[in-house]
Amino acid sequence: MAKFILSAFSDEYSSDFDRQIEGLKENGITHMEIRGVNGKNILDLSDSELDTVKEKLTLEGITVSSIGSPLGKIQITDPFEPHLEKTRRAIEIAKKLGTRNIRMFSFYISDGDLDGHRSEVMRRLSAMADEADKAGVYLCHENEKGIYGANADRCLDIQEEFAGRIKCVFDPGNFIQEKVETFPYAFELLKDKIYYMHIKDAVEDGTIVASGYGIARIKDIIDSLRSREQTYYLTVEPHLRVFAGLEKLETGEHPKVGSAYSSSEEAFGAAVTALKEIVFEK
Protein backbone atom coordinates (compact mmCIF):
# COMPACT_ATOMS: atom_id res chain seq x y z
CA MET A 1 0.00 0.00 0.00
CA ALA A 2 1.14 3.52 -0.76
CA LYS A 3 2.28 5.83 2.01
CA PHE A 4 1.24 9.47 1.73
CA ILE A 5 3.22 12.18 3.51
CA LEU A 6 1.71 15.65 3.60
CA SER A 7 3.99 18.59 2.88
CA ALA A 8 3.17 22.20 2.05
CA PHE A 9 4.32 25.44 0.52
CA SER A 10 4.17 27.15 3.89
CA ASP A 11 5.06 30.54 2.42
CA GLU A 12 1.38 30.66 1.43
CA TYR A 13 0.58 30.70 5.15
CA SER A 14 2.93 33.60 5.82
CA SER A 15 6.01 35.20 4.32
CA ASP A 16 7.54 35.19 7.82
CA PHE A 17 9.50 31.98 8.29
CA ASP A 18 8.71 31.60 11.99
CA ARG A 19 5.01 31.93 11.22
CA GLN A 20 5.38 29.34 8.45
CA ILE A 21 6.61 26.81 10.98
CA GLU A 22 3.74 27.72 13.31
CA GLY A 23 1.27 27.23 10.44
CA LEU A 24 2.62 23.79 9.64
CA LYS A 25 2.39 22.72 13.28
CA GLU A 26 -1.10 24.17 13.67
CA ASN A 27 -2.22 22.09 10.69
CA GLY A 28 -0.43 18.90 11.67
CA ILE A 29 2.13 18.92 8.84
CA THR A 30 5.74 17.92 9.47
CA HIS A 31 7.22 18.55 6.00
CA MET A 32 7.83 21.73 4.02
CA GLU A 33 8.51 22.36 0.34
CA ILE A 34 10.61 25.42 1.00
CA ARG A 35 10.20 28.27 -1.47
CA GLY A 36 9.90 31.73 0.13
CA VAL A 37 11.67 32.72 3.34
CA ASN A 38 11.05 36.13 4.88
CA GLY A 39 10.22 37.59 1.48
CA LYS A 40 13.18 36.06 -0.34
CA ASN A 41 13.26 33.14 -2.75
CA ILE A 42 15.06 30.16 -1.26
CA LEU A 43 17.82 30.42 -3.90
CA ASP A 44 18.55 34.02 -2.87
CA LEU A 45 19.36 33.26 0.78
CA SER A 46 22.92 33.73 1.99
CA ASP A 47 24.82 30.91 3.67
CA SER A 48 24.25 32.47 7.08
CA GLU A 49 20.52 32.82 6.41
CA LEU A 50 20.41 29.17 5.36
CA ASP A 51 22.17 28.18 8.57
CA THR A 52 19.44 29.97 10.55
CA VAL A 53 16.73 28.25 8.51
CA LYS A 54 18.31 24.85 9.11
CA GLU A 55 18.61 25.48 12.85
CA LYS A 56 14.95 26.45 13.13
CA LEU A 57 13.75 23.47 11.09
CA THR A 58 15.81 21.07 13.19
CA LEU A 59 14.61 22.62 16.44
CA GLU A 60 10.95 22.38 15.40
CA GLY A 61 11.17 18.90 13.84
CA ILE A 62 10.24 20.06 10.33
CA THR A 63 11.69 18.14 7.38
CA VAL A 64 12.27 19.68 3.95
CA SER A 65 10.57 17.48 1.35
CA SER A 66 11.86 19.49 -1.63
CA ILE A 67 13.45 22.78 -2.61
CA GLY A 68 10.68 24.77 -4.33
CA SER A 69 13.08 26.41 -6.76
CA PRO A 70 12.19 28.49 -9.83
CA LEU A 71 14.71 26.63 -11.99
CA GLY A 72 13.50 26.44 -15.58
CA LYS A 73 11.15 29.40 -15.16
CA ILE A 74 12.88 31.50 -17.79
CA GLN A 75 12.34 31.88 -21.52
CA ILE A 76 14.01 29.25 -23.67
CA THR A 77 15.74 32.15 -25.46
CA ASP A 78 17.22 33.60 -22.24
CA PRO A 79 20.93 33.04 -21.50
CA PHE A 80 21.47 29.61 -19.95
CA GLU A 81 24.86 29.79 -18.19
CA PRO A 82 23.62 32.00 -15.31
CA HIS A 83 20.74 29.56 -14.88
CA LEU A 84 23.11 26.60 -14.72
CA GLU A 85 24.93 28.42 -11.94
CA LYS A 86 21.58 28.77 -10.14
CA THR A 87 21.15 25.02 -10.53
CA ARG A 88 24.46 24.48 -8.74
CA ARG A 89 23.31 26.81 -5.96
CA ALA A 90 20.01 24.94 -5.64
CA ILE A 91 21.96 21.71 -5.27
CA GLU A 92 24.09 23.21 -2.48
CA ILE A 93 20.93 24.35 -0.69
CA ALA A 94 19.24 20.96 -1.05
CA LYS A 95 22.22 19.21 0.49
CA LYS A 96 22.43 21.73 3.31
CA LEU A 97 18.74 21.36 4.15
CA GLY A 98 18.76 17.56 3.93
CA THR A 99 16.64 16.86 0.87
CA ARG A 100 17.46 15.13 -2.41
CA ASN A 101 14.61 16.84 -4.26
CA ILE A 102 14.62 20.11 -6.24
CA ARG A 103 11.42 21.21 -7.98
CA MET A 104 11.99 22.71 -11.44
CA PHE A 105 10.38 23.53 -14.80
CA SER A 106 11.13 23.15 -18.52
CA PHE A 107 11.32 26.75 -19.80
CA TYR A 108 8.72 29.14 -21.15
CA ILE A 109 8.24 29.12 -24.91
CA SER A 110 6.48 32.35 -25.79
CA ASP A 111 6.41 31.85 -29.57
CA GLY A 112 4.46 28.59 -29.21
CA ASP A 113 6.91 26.59 -31.35
CA LEU A 114 7.29 23.71 -28.90
CA ASP A 115 8.65 21.22 -31.42
CA GLY A 116 11.10 23.75 -32.77
CA HIS A 117 12.58 24.37 -29.32
CA ARG A 118 12.55 20.75 -28.12
CA SER A 119 16.24 20.09 -28.74
CA GLU A 120 17.28 23.19 -26.79
CA VAL A 121 14.93 22.30 -23.94
CA MET A 122 16.45 18.84 -23.71
CA ARG A 123 19.99 20.18 -23.99
CA ARG A 124 19.42 22.52 -21.07
CA LEU A 125 17.64 19.92 -18.98
CA SER A 126 20.46 17.47 -19.66
CA ALA A 127 23.09 19.93 -18.45
CA MET A 128 21.07 20.56 -15.30
CA ALA A 129 20.51 16.85 -14.74
CA ASP A 130 24.26 16.22 -15.10
CA GLU A 131 24.88 18.60 -12.20
CA ALA A 132 22.22 16.89 -10.10
CA ASP A 133 23.58 13.42 -10.90
CA LYS A 134 27.07 14.40 -9.77
CA ALA A 135 25.66 15.60 -6.44
CA GLY A 136 23.29 12.69 -5.87
CA VAL A 137 20.13 14.80 -5.91
CA TYR A 138 17.01 14.78 -8.09
CA LEU A 139 15.56 17.43 -10.33
CA CYS A 140 11.77 17.11 -10.11
CA HIS A 141 9.85 18.52 -13.07
CA GLU A 142 6.48 20.17 -12.46
CA ASN A 143 3.93 20.70 -15.22
CA GLU A 144 3.21 24.40 -15.47
CA LYS A 145 1.16 26.46 -17.90
CA GLY A 146 3.24 27.93 -20.72
CA ILE A 147 6.37 25.81 -20.38
CA TYR A 148 7.54 22.99 -22.65
CA GLY A 149 6.21 20.36 -20.23
CA ALA A 150 2.81 21.96 -19.77
CA ASN A 151 0.69 19.03 -20.88
CA ALA A 152 0.82 15.33 -20.08
CA ASP A 153 2.26 14.26 -23.44
CA ARG A 154 5.28 16.53 -23.13
CA CYS A 155 5.75 15.62 -19.48
CA LEU A 156 5.95 12.02 -20.67
CA ASP A 157 8.40 13.09 -23.37
CA ILE A 158 10.71 14.50 -20.68
CA GLN A 159 10.33 11.40 -18.53
CA GLU A 160 11.17 9.08 -21.41
CA GLU A 161 14.10 11.24 -22.54
CA PHE A 162 15.72 11.16 -19.10
CA ALA A 163 14.64 7.71 -17.93
CA GLY A 164 14.34 8.56 -14.24
CA ARG A 165 17.15 11.12 -14.06
CA ILE A 166 14.49 13.84 -13.87
CA LYS A 167 11.52 13.00 -11.67
CA CYS A 168 7.85 13.76 -12.30
CA VAL A 169 5.88 16.16 -10.10
CA PHE A 170 2.20 15.78 -10.97
CA ASP A 171 0.10 18.94 -10.46
CA PRO A 172 -3.60 18.36 -11.24
CA GLY A 173 -4.60 22.01 -10.93
CA ASN A 174 -1.97 23.12 -13.42
CA PHE A 175 -3.19 20.54 -15.92
CA ILE A 176 -6.72 21.94 -15.65
CA GLN A 177 -5.38 25.43 -16.33
CA GLU A 178 -3.74 24.01 -19.47
CA LYS A 179 -7.11 22.43 -20.50
CA VAL A 180 -5.74 18.90 -19.94
CA GLU A 181 -7.97 16.18 -18.50
CA THR A 182 -6.23 15.01 -15.34
CA PHE A 183 -8.09 11.73 -14.86
CA PRO A 184 -7.98 9.38 -16.49
CA TYR A 185 -5.94 10.90 -19.34
CA ALA A 186 -2.93 12.62 -17.72
CA PHE A 187 -2.87 10.17 -14.84
CA GLU A 188 -2.86 7.12 -17.10
CA LEU A 189 0.01 8.54 -19.14
CA LEU A 190 2.13 9.42 -16.12
CA LYS A 191 1.03 7.11 -13.30
CA ASP A 192 4.18 4.99 -13.48
CA LYS A 193 6.35 8.13 -13.47
CA ILE A 194 4.78 10.11 -10.62
CA TYR A 195 7.38 10.81 -7.95
CA TYR A 196 5.39 13.26 -5.85
CA MET A 197 2.41 15.59 -6.26
CA HIS A 198 1.51 19.22 -5.83
CA ILE A 199 -2.05 19.41 -4.59
CA LYS A 200 -4.39 22.02 -5.93
CA ASP A 201 -7.74 21.63 -7.63
CA ALA A 202 -9.38 23.89 -10.20
CA VAL A 203 -12.72 24.53 -11.89
CA GLU A 204 -13.35 24.83 -15.63
CA ASP A 205 -12.12 28.43 -15.95
CA GLY A 206 -8.88 27.60 -14.14
CA THR A 207 -9.78 29.15 -10.79
CA ILE A 208 -8.04 27.25 -8.01
CA VAL A 209 -10.26 25.73 -5.33
CA ALA A 210 -9.74 23.38 -2.39
CA SER A 211 -9.14 19.70 -3.16
CA GLY A 212 -12.26 17.84 -4.20
CA TYR A 213 -14.23 20.93 -5.21
CA GLY A 214 -12.94 21.24 -8.78
CA ILE A 215 -12.67 18.98 -11.80
CA ALA A 216 -9.10 17.74 -11.27
CA ARG A 217 -10.43 14.51 -9.71
CA ILE A 218 -7.86 14.47 -6.95
CA LYS A 219 -9.73 11.80 -5.00
CA ASP A 220 -9.69 9.46 -8.00
CA ILE A 221 -5.97 10.05 -8.44
CA ILE A 222 -5.18 9.43 -4.77
CA ASP A 223 -7.37 6.34 -4.66
CA SER A 224 -5.67 4.98 -7.78
CA LEU A 225 -2.26 5.40 -6.14
CA ARG A 226 -3.22 3.67 -2.89
CA SER A 227 -2.38 0.16 -4.07
CA ARG A 228 1.16 1.10 -5.16
CA GLU A 229 4.16 0.20 -3.05
CA GLN A 230 5.56 3.71 -3.01
CA THR A 231 5.86 6.71 -0.72
CA TYR A 232 4.41 9.92 -2.14
CA TYR A 233 4.82 13.44 -0.84
CA LEU A 234 1.60 15.38 -1.34
CA THR A 235 2.55 19.04 -1.22
CA VAL A 236 -0.33 21.39 -0.48
CA GLU A 237 -0.12 24.47 -2.67
CA PRO A 238 -3.26 26.44 -1.75
CA HIS A 239 -3.29 29.27 -4.34
CA LEU A 240 -6.72 30.15 -2.94
CA ARG A 241 -8.09 33.66 -3.20
CA VAL A 242 -7.65 35.89 -0.17
CA PHE A 243 -9.78 38.97 0.39
CA ALA A 244 -8.60 40.74 3.53
CA GLY A 245 -11.81 42.74 3.96
CA LEU A 246 -14.16 39.80 3.60
CA GLU A 247 -14.79 39.42 7.33
CA LYS A 248 -16.23 42.96 7.38
CA LEU A 249 -18.79 42.09 4.70
CA GLU A 250 -19.98 38.73 5.99
CA THR A 251 -22.12 38.34 9.09
CA GLY A 252 -22.06 34.55 9.09
CA GLU A 253 -19.70 31.87 7.86
CA HIS A 254 -18.75 32.71 4.30
CA PRO A 255 -18.41 30.09 1.58
CA LYS A 256 -15.13 28.25 1.89
CA VAL A 257 -14.81 26.92 -1.63
CA GLY A 258 -14.80 28.71 -4.96
CA SER A 259 -14.81 31.98 -3.07
CA ALA A 260 -12.41 34.19 -1.16
CA TYR A 261 -10.87 33.60 2.24
CA SER A 262 -10.38 36.31 4.80
CA SER A 263 -6.69 35.55 5.36
CA SER A 264 -3.84 33.47 4.00
CA GLU A 265 -3.88 31.48 7.23
CA GLU A 266 -7.54 30.57 6.71
CA ALA A 267 -6.96 29.65 3.07
CA PHE A 268 -3.98 27.48 4.00
CA GLY A 269 -5.98 25.66 6.66
CA ALA A 270 -8.87 25.07 4.27
CA ALA A 271 -6.55 23.59 1.65
CA VAL A 272 -4.94 21.26 4.18
CA THR A 273 -8.27 20.15 5.65
CA ALA A 274 -9.73 19.38 2.22
CA LEU A 275 -6.76 17.20 1.31
CA LYS A 276 -6.79 15.38 4.64
CA GLU A 277 -10.48 14.52 4.11
CA ILE A 278 -9.53 12.83 0.83
CA VAL A 279 -6.34 11.09 1.91
CA PHE A 280 -7.35 9.98 5.37
CA GLU A 281 -11.05 9.32 4.82
CA LYS A 282 -12.52 6.80 7.20
Q: How does pLDDT run across 134-169, given as a tens digit for each residue? A: 999 999 999 999 999 999 999 999 999 999 999 999
What DSSP designation does 36 have?
E
pTM: 0.94
Compute the distance between CA of residue 267 and CA of residue 247 in angstroms, rounded to an integer: 13
User: Are 241 and 202 contacting, i.e. CB atoms less than 8 angstroms apart?
Assistant: no
Q: Residues of the chain whose pLDDT is less than 70?
A: 243-259, 282
Cβ contact 135:89 at 8 Å: no
Residue 255 parent element (H or E): none
> What pLDDT, on a 0 to 100 scale, did the predictor assign at position 243?
65
What sign for the dihedral angle of Cα 229, 231, 26, 264?
Answer: negative
